[in-house]
């Protein structure tokens, strides 16, 4: 059993004379103008979300200027209105670490003003030469697997210069780690493990940004990439959806989501859940037989998996200065470790030194070793559990300073089950069953474990062969593992 348990707290304090950005934050500023192009004071300016909800509002200054800060990266609607003038509304895109300048010209009532927007204007970062890729919920839905795709696969599918490793790791530009993940502006100090990345479902992403070049200094010593994730929030009108998918290998994927808000629009909530199971979990089917290794078999052997995941988000805008949010998600996964078909046996040359397979791999070379024979009825399996929650309080002091307090908790556990051989004389086994202490020398207890770890520092364990010895005590089982050099 490998367990990773952490309670981490993150406090961001920005009290500076100029705008300071971190994480998802950007800003929107501009002027409200009258028909003559002069600044219009005391005009009401609102920032609207994708569902039309009011996220922030302010009034223009004596010179007609306004500013919204902090603003999470993404697409918004800006609305300005004043007495004796027609309202003005336009779309605006905010990039992380940048200020979007949008002026709001108001026309006098009685005159018609037509504003035609043909495309969204993407502003160039003026503070750093950042290379980034942005993706919204609509783009995710258009992918072949839609929002049922895993987060590591979503990153490698949509971000140039990335590849996915054999255990689901994500490599950016050839780097094996050093990735900064953020969830709704909360920076995680350490990169989540592969299992933690698999736990978060893209179904809960509203939009995300992946920075792979020119990473600003506020992210720390991150040389590979920064992954900013903005999660979904409840719409103004309550509603949801439910789907059920079924495919080959008895793959079943039911899922549902629901969200809404209170009457005033200050409280938003969103929940989702899903389940999945398949007879083809980890790998493709093994070769048909020893005599036909170039073609995959029609059936997967000992390869089923199942799991579930749940997500909750609650946003409360207490007033223009204080916003609170809670996010929690949980995921559980069980999968079997695939075996070779029954037609293979330990005496096959494939498992002997000096063998050359149909693809030219020679087990006597420095690049290959004899394969480890695993009987078809071996019952190796693994169970993973992941839980994460964060509570965020964001207080805005002024147009150029805010305080963010974000404690979070994450938990990951991995249970590895592997077949073992335990034998002893009948009287000794009877004593073991009764829970009595037995001399270890009278019991043969050996195993060949396989590990999947949640820490980059322990990744070497997935690339080695281990042998294990067991000791059955009355209150517990002790296992000792040895690396085969």
Report the range of poorest mean pLDDT among 34-43, 259-268, 365-374: 365-374
Rg (CA), the chain: 28
Whether 443 has a pLDDT exceeding 90, the answer reads: no
Q: Using the 8-state DSSP alphabet, how is residue 433 labeled?
A: H
Q: What pLDDT does 271 receive?
A: 95
Q: Which of 155, 235, 239, 166 is nearest to 197 (CA)?
A: 155
Average pLDDT (140-166) is 83
- Pinpoint the residues of the chain covered by CATH 2.170.130.10: 131-231
Q: Where are the alpha helices (DSSP H) in 366-450?
A: 426-433
Q: What pLDDT does 78 receive?
A: 92
Query: Reduced to 3 DSSP states, what percent helix, strand and coil does the chain have, rounded to the nearest 5?
Result: 10, 45, 45
Helix (H, G, I), strand (E, B) or coil at 48: strand
Q: Using the 8-state DSSP alphabet, how is residue 287 labeled?
A: E
- For residues 418 and 469, give the distance between their C-alpha atoms in angstroms, rounded to a whole number: 12
Query: How do strand 420-423 and strand 401-417 relate by DSSP bridges?
Result: unpaired
- Note the CATH number of domain 131-231: 2.170.130.10
Confidence of residue 75 (pLDDT cuts 50, 70, 90): confident
* Cβ atoms of 76 and 96 closer than 8 Å: no
Q: Which of 175, 140, 177, 189 is nearest to 23 (CA)?
A: 189
Confidence of residue 16 (pLDDT cuts 50, 70, 90): very low
The most distant pair of C-alpha atoms in the chain lies apart, rounded to whole Å, by 101
Task: Tell me the fold of 421-483.
Answer: Porin (2.40.160)
Whether 301 has a pLDDT exceeding 60, the answer reads: yes
- Pinpoint the residues of the chain covered by CATH 2.40.160.20: 421-483
> Within 10 A of 194 (CB to CB), how many other CB atoms are there?
24
Mean pLDDT of the chain: 78
Average pLDDT (5-29) is 49
Report the range of poorest mean pLDDT among 9-23, 46-60, 97-111, 187-201: 9-23
pTM exceeding the 0.75 threshold for the entire prediction = no
- For residues 180 and 428, give the distance between their C-alpha atoms in angstroms, rounded to a whole number: 54
Q: Where are the alpha helices (DSSP H) in 70-150?
A: 137-141
Higher pLDDT, 81 or 343: 81
Q: What pLDDT does 281 receive?
A: 83
Sign for the pseudo-dihedral over CA of 135, 139, 144, 150: positive
Report the range of poorest mean pLDDT among 159-163, 168-172, 365-369: 365-369
Q: What pLDDT does 234 receive?
A: 86
Confidence of residue 368 (pLDDT cuts 50, 70, 90): very low
Distance of CA 469 to the CA centre of its chain: 37
Q: What pLDDT does 110 receive?
A: 67
């Amino acid at each position: 059993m490998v367990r990773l348990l952490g309670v981490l707290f993150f406090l961001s304090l920005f009290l500076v004379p100029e705008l300071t950005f971190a994480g998802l934050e950007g800003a929107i500023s501009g002027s409200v103008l009258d028909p003559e192009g002069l600044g219009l004071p005391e005009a009401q300016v609102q920032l609207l979300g994708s569902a039309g909800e009011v996220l922030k509002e302010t009034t223009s200054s004596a010179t007609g200027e306004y500013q919204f800060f902090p603003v999470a990266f993404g697409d918004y609607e800006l609305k300005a209105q004043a007495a004796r003038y027609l309202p003005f509304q336009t779309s605006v895109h905010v990039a992380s670490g940048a200020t979007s300048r949008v002026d709001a010209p108001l026309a006098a009532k009685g005159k018609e003003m037509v504003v035609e927007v043909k495309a969204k204007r993407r502003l160039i970062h003026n503070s750093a030469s950042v290379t980034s890729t942005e993706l919204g919920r609509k783009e995710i839905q258009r992918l072949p697997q839609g929002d049922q795709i895993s987060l590591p696969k979503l990153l490698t599918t949509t971000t140039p210069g990335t590849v996915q490793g054999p255990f689901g790791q994500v490599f950016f530009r050839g780097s094996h780690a050093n990735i900064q993940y953020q969830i709704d502006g909360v920076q995680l100090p350490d990169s989540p493990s592969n299992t933690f990345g698999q736990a978060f479902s893209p179904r809960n992403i509203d939009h995300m940004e992946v920075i792979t070049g020119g990473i600003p200094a506020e992210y720390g010593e991150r040389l590979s990439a920064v992954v900013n994730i903005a999660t979904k929030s409840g719409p103004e009108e309550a509603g949801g959806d439910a789907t059920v998918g079924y495919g080959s290998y008895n793959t079943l994927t039911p899922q549902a989501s629901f969200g809404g808000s209170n009457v005033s629009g200050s409280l938003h909530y969103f929940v989702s859940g899903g389940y999945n199971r398949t007879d083809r979990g980890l790998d493709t089917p093994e070769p048909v037989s020893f005599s036909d290794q170039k073609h995959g078999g029609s059936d997967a052997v000992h390869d089923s998996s199942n799991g579930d995941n749940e997500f909750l988000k609650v946003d409360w805008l207490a007033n223009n200065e204080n916003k609170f949010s809670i996010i929690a998600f949980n995921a559980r996964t069980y999968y079997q470790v695939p075996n070779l078909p029954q037609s293979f046996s330990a005496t096959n040359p494939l498992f002997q030194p000096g063998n050359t397979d149909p693809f030219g791999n020679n087990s006597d070379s420095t690049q290959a070793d004899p394969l480890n024979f695993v009987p078809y009825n071996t019952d190796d399996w693994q169970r993973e559990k992941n839980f994460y929650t964060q509570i965020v309080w964001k207080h805005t002091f002024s147009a150029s300073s805010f305080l963010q307090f974000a404690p979070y908790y994450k938990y990951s556990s991995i249970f590895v089950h592997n077949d073992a051989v335990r034998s002893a004389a009948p009287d000794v086994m009877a004593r073991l069953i009764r829970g009595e202490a037995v001399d270890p020398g009278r019991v043969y207890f050996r195993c060949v474990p396989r590990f999947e770890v949640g820490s980059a520092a322990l990744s070497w364990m997935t690339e080695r062969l281990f042998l294990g010895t067991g000791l059955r005590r009355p209150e517990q089982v002790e296992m000792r593992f040895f690396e085969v050099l």
